[in-house]
Amino acid sequence: MKDEFGAPDGRTGILFVCMGNICRSPTAEGVFRSTAERAGLIQRLDIDSAGTHDYHIGAPPDRRAMIAARRRGYDIAELRARLIHVGDFARFQHIYAMDSANLALLTELRPSGYSGHLGLLLDLVPELRLRDVPDPYYGGPEGFERVLDLVECASDALVERLASTSVR
């Protein structure tokens, strides 16, 4: 059985992408998993995260990201960084970059036949008047809290969008 996006098992693939896959994209994956679970959509989704650079392959999320996430009830400790590859475009029908620089890299990698959605995560919440989720890596704990604030808003919007389509 295939869904409207062509997922072979009927699940819709959602991928979150940042540079190293240790701060923003694993945070987005963890928050979105929790949001989708609360909405009753988790069984119909294939959710993952990846990075555009190979700096941290196999590493857990940044300790500061894990602490901030845990404070809000999200557990991302078991996630491990991985590099995006061209095969991800066949697996994921929705690919969300955390910022414009990573979106440009994904656009270059995207196969010509990809018919899914490739865009910025924060475009789901235009009322925020931001397009890029800021990279908190070189800052303090407040940067990781800001990432969570933004990702929570975008996750709610994505769940609303998916719930209003065939992903029920």
Q: Does domain 17-163 have CATH number 3.40.50.2300?
A: yes
Q: Which of 18, 33, 82, 99 does the annotation list as catalytic? A: 18
Rounded mean pLDDT of 115-137?
98
Query: In the predicted model, is pLDDT for residue 102 greater than 70?
Result: yes
Q: What is the mean pLDDT of the chain?
A: 94
Query: Given this model, what pLDDT does residue 166 score?
Result: 62
CA distance 117 to 94: 5
Query: Which pLDDT tens digit goes with each residue over 76-93?
Result: 999 999 999 999 999 999
Rounded mean pLDDT of 7-31?
93
And the tokens for 39?
A: 């909405």
Q: CA nearest 46: which of 10, 6, 4?
A: 10
Please say if 168 is a catalytic residue. Answer: no
Q: For residue 20, what pLDDT band results from cuts at 50, 70 and 90? A: very high
Q: Who's near 75: CB < 8 A, 6+ residues apart?
A: 30, 69
Query: Given this model, what pLDDT does residue 8 score?
Result: 55
Q: Which of 48, 88, 99, 135 does the annotation list as catalytic? A: 135
Please say if 3 is a catalytic residue. Answer: no
Pair 120, 66: CB distance under 8 Å: no
Q: Which of 11, 23, 24, 64 does the annotation list as catalytic? A: 24
Across the beta sheet with 94-97, the strand order is 45-51, 12-18, 94-97, 117-120
Query: Given this model, what pLDDT does residue 165 score?
Result: 82
The residues spanned by each domain of the chain are 17-163
CA distance 10 to 25: 24
Query: Given this model, what pLDDT does residue 154 score?
Result: 98
Query: Given this model, what pLDDT does residue 140 score?
Result: 94
Please say if 135 is a catalytic residue. Answer: yes
CA distance 115 to 138: 35
Query: Which pLDDT tens digit goes with each residue over 37-77?
Result: 999 999 999 999 999 999 999 999 999 999 999 999 999 99
